[in-house]
Amino acid sequence: MIDKVFPKIHNEGYKFLVIFGFVTLILYLISGFLGLIGLVLTIWVYYFFRDPDRISINDENYLVSPADGEVLQVEDSDGPKELNLEGKKFKKISIFMNVFDCHVNRIPCSGKITEILYKPGKFLNASLDKASEDNERNYYKISNSSEEDIIIVQIAGLIARRIVCEVTENSELKQGDRIGMIRFGSRVDIYFENYNPLVKVNQKTIAGETLLAKK
């Protein structure tokens, strides 16, 4: 019960809590009303960086959602050119995370991280199509038990200013394990083959638990 009211937070959140807490104290000394605004913002920062435990299905026949949020797109797509996969056809699901969603991202299937590629870029609205080409982003190429390529792309949004990667190339991960986070509003794209999408546009997802696709 306590974990639901006061969930544990990601390590990235502590410095922001200190900053917002200090600013709140200064604002309170100036005005009680300003202090109240600062307190509300500090509470929001706490919940933004929440990092709850999730229980994945642990089944290689399914892909679980890499992010909390709302499904923006479910479509056929070429693979990311940044990974030299532009000549390969994939299914692609895009998930938008607003500033109230949990921003910790998780691996959709058990497998090995064979490549990680970071690309600096702009900070356009993450819901726009061109954000996948223009914004700051981080690519993860995953090889599952069938040696199929599953691609995750973290895309920084309008407010986000840093993508946090918590894994390294050649890491062996289990379905639902954490791979990193994006701070303050963003999007995650997932590319896959040989799975059939189970979600629809506008559907809400929970990282590590919502079933995105099935073989």
Positions annotated as catalytic residues are: 186
CB under 8 Å to 3, separation ≥6 — which residues?
A: 52
Residue type at 168 in one-letter notation: T
CB neighbour burial string for 33-68, b if at least 16 within 10 angstroms, e if fewer: eebeebbeebeebbebbbbeebebeeeeebbbbbbb
Nearest to 54 by CA among 129, 118, 121, 105: 105
- From CA 140, how far away is CA 124, in angstroms rounded? 21
